[in-house]
Structure 1
Amino acid sequence: MVKSKKTETDHINITKDLLLSSILPNVDFDGWSSTAFDQAIVDSGVERSLAHQAAPRGAIDLAVAFHKKGDELMKNGYQPENFSKLKYSEKVRELVKSRIQVSKAHKEAVRKGMSLFTLPPNINEGGQLIWNTSDVIWNILGDTSTDSNWYTKRTTLSAVYSSTVLFWLGDESDEATDTWNFLDRRIKNVMEIEKAKAKIKKTSFGQSVFNLLKLFQKPSDDHKSDFPGYNG
């Protein structure tokens, strides 16, 4: 069997993975900083020029890669057969829990990342990462909405996910029990809102509002370049 040659993109991705693995131990002490990035170059043995090619912005590019790696691990760990008997809200709950758990070995890196992406220059990118996580979860669950529901589902889940992560960062309970209870309460709140929306839809005013919302459509692949969660 002939092995395919690695492309430049492959080499860049391999380099970024090496740098990410090397920076994580230093993030606990130095955060996602230039100091941590420089040490990652030394520890990984990657040439400095190649390191800056893989991560032009330095540590912040590795912080982005760290978050996206968590999304990938959650997606790869999804087993449909384990979800077949769950209610829809329970499926969402388990995926949010899974997404947080894949990062539990690097809790401090998550904490430092939250601080990094709340800084004014990075806040938009931080929002995009959270939106993308929500988008991945809904896509895993086979969401087919194309109207305003596409937006509201991801907006609502982004709020649930981000608030749960913040709670988890301060949670010292055994097996993060308090965090999962917090998550249950947030999802219950969302379900109550959905029930209220269903009642409003039955009124003439509600029908008018929701008919207007139908004008909002899921963005096409050709018009996503500035949209949260876009990876093009």
Structure 2
Amino acid sequence: MSQAPRDDLKTRLLDAAALHVPFDGWSETTFEAAVAECDVDPVVAHALFPRGAVDLAVAFHKQGDSLMSAQLAAQDLSEMKIREKITHAVRVRLEICPDREVVRRGSTLFALPKYAPTGAELIWGTADAIWTAIGDTSEDVNWYTKRATLSGVYGATVLYWLGDDSEGHEATWAFLDRRIENVMQFEKVKAQMRNGPLGKLMSGPLQAMGRIRAPSPMRDMPGQWRRPNT
């Protein structure tokens, strides 16, 4: 067998696995079937996906994030308000999924205590991808609160979507609109508190939170040049 590029092998294995997931879940059975159908050396397959089917599920989720980001980048969102951009991005992310059963099986997998941290990390990653795609430039504590809030909204919407049998998933989109409205109301209350009497009482903690910064690229790593302060 000729050695295909790493990314091509990943895509082939993901595509093959997705056909088995509705029946066997993100399981070792699915992983072995995908490896056999793609005629990939099991050693190579495990090098790409050390945890087997679990890492396949992780890659499938991240693939969806990448497809969403690419689709949003190709669209003109400049006329949309922030809430409209977020709502649109969540819809795009869900509509990318080819089969709800594949997502349902992934949700079941990442609900297990052993893999729950991985599941939470993936949801956070999706929220980060959405905010990044719509042009978020926050660099303070808002970077974290935006992603934490959207993680909750996205996670709840996915669960609702998985059980939604309405035509065109209209019930899901109505649910999403309500969740976004709740967030917007919370943001308004937070701003009123910050600018009101309570904000003065909380000035110390608020100043401390103001020193929190968004993650930045690692510095002082081998092979990197740090520009001197000027």
Using structure 1 for the length normalisation, give the TM-score: 0.88
Structure 2 gaps, min length 5 = 220-230
Percent identity between matched residues is 45
Structure 1 gaps, min length 5 = 1-7, 224-232
Aligned to 1:35: 29
Aligned to 2:210: 214
Aligned partner letter, 1:210: L
Alignment of 1:184-223 (within 5 A): 184-207=177-200, 208=203, 209-222=205-218
Aligned residues: 214
Aligned partner letter, 2:57: A
Shift in Å, 1:62: 0.7
Distance 2:199 2:126 in 1: 30
Shift in Å, 1:202: 1.2
Distance 2:83 2:207 in 1: 25
Is 2:161 the counterpart of 1:168?
yes
Query: Which segments of structure 1 move beyond 6 Å, counting only runs of 4 or more?
Result: none
Distance 1:205 1:159 in 2: 26
Residues 12 and 53 in structure 1, CA contact (< 8 A), matched pair in contact too: no
Residues 17 and 31 in structure 2, CA contact (< 8 A), matched pair in contact too: yes
Distance 1:81 1:115 in 2: 33
Aligned to 2:223: none
Shift in Å, 1:84: 2.0
Shift in Å, 1:43: 1.4
Shift in Å, 1:212: 2.8
Shift in Å, 1:81: 5.1
- For 1:49, which of 43, 49, 52 is the aligned residue? 43
Alignment of 1:1-232 (within 5 A): 11-79=5-73, 82-103=76-97, 105-207=98-200, 208=203, 209-222=205-218
Residues 73 and 133 in structure 2, CA contact (< 8 A), matched pair in contact too: no
Distance 2:23 2:80 in 1: 41
Distance 2:162 2:175 in 1: 12
Shift in Å, 1:213: 1.6
Aligned partner letter, 2:91: K
Larger Rg: 1 or 2?
2
Decide which moves more: 129-138 or 74-83: 74-83
Decide which moves more: 181-190 or 51-60: 51-60
Distance 1:138 1:106 in 2: 25
CA RMSD in angstroms comes to 1.6
Distance 2:104 2:175 in 1: 18
